[in-house]
Structure 1
Amino acid sequence: MPEASFAKLPGVVKTRVGYTGGSRPNPTYESVCAGDGHTEAMRVWFDPAIISYEDLLKQFFREHDPTQKSKCQYKSAVWYHSEAQRTALAAVMKELEGKYRVRLATTVDPAGDWWDAEEYHQKYIEKSMMRRGSAGWW
């Protein structure tokens, strides 16, 4: 899930890539790749007066195929922070299941421990485009 697609949305204040969902403390990219149970994820800070949680969810689901099951590292997953977020997520997923006509593979869990990914993972696409001399996000 590219940070760039969220970072450019009006109302998104900050994004951060990290690891969550596993039980091992202080995961690293290497441990996640080795299957430690964590998932690579992105945190999004946003101003709800400008962009809604529902709009962020819709962007998330546009970015990938939520019907495809994947390994833990890159699975489709949402971790919610409140009952209101869980309810909004359930409504968006129900709407999408009607569109896809299948059950979504996206896992839904309460937010747990979070560890920021290594700095070289932050704004990865932006950094790689700069190294290649491109002025754009894509």
Structure 2
Amino acid sequence: MSEQMEVAVLGGGCFWCHDAVYRQVRGVVSVETGYMGGQVAQPTHEQVAAGHTGHAQVVRLAFDPAVVSYHDLLDVFFTSHDPTTAERQGNDAGPQFRSVIFTASARQAAVARQVIAGMAAVWDAPIVTQVLPVQSWYRAEDEHQDYVARHPALAYCMLVAAPRVAQFRAMHAGLAK
């Protein structure tokens, strides 16, 4: 493992699914669910879920760029949610479920735009993913961390999250732990 960890912050629907997927990615050393991009300090899950704080549900990843590239993390991101639906992923609707990449540097922003341009040829509709600079981070409550692993028998976890993890493993086998 390199000594220089990087951070990526990504939102695309319910953070439980992205949390479950990125825990499977080689080189990702930590995953936290949380909120970013809103106007309320220290928002609660209930406030964000109501859709009035402006925050997106996101995952914050610490990763080793010597093992997995930022580009690869974004490839996983664009194949684990629908980046063509504004403020919606399946039955989850509202600004908290928007597709967004919060970038920590000009290099990350450039890579994000490059990946989006490449993905535009893959999707049948325009990609609506926002690329924004990192903003204030608020960690979600403990009950939302590693949620799918702790509640695998819940319907949402079985019907929505588990298929996304399986899809990741099928499409990105070389990145799987």
TM-score (normalizing by structure 1): 0.91
1:7 pairs, out of 23, 26, 29, with: 23
Which blocks of at least 5 consecutive residues in structure 1 are unaligned? 132-136
1:120 pairs, out of 117, 123, 143, with: 143
1:86 pairs, out of 92, 109, 131, with: 109
1:64 and 1:124 map into 2 onto residues whose CA distance is 18
2:42 pairs, out of 26, 33, 43, with: 26
Q: Structure 1 segments of 4 or more deviating over 3 A?
A: none
1:31 and 1:60 map into 2 onto residues whose CA distance is 25
| Cα deviation code 1:21-41 (max 9, x no counterpart) | 001100001111122111110
Question: Which residue pairs with 2:5 in the alignment?
Answer: none
Shift of 1:49: 0.3
Which blocks of at least 5 consecutive residues in structure 2 are unaligned? 1-14, 88-93, 155-160, 163-177
1:60 aligns with 2:77: yes
Identity across matched positions, percent: 34
2:71 and 2:53 map into 1 onto residues whose CA distance is 31
Q: Give SS of 1:45's match.
A: strand
Shift of 1:100: 1.9
Q: Give SS of 2:120's match.
A: helix
Shift of 1:99: 2.1
Which letter maps to 1:100? W
| Cα deviation code 1:93-127 (max 9, x no counterpart) | 00111222542111110001000000000001001
**Number of corresponding residues:** 135
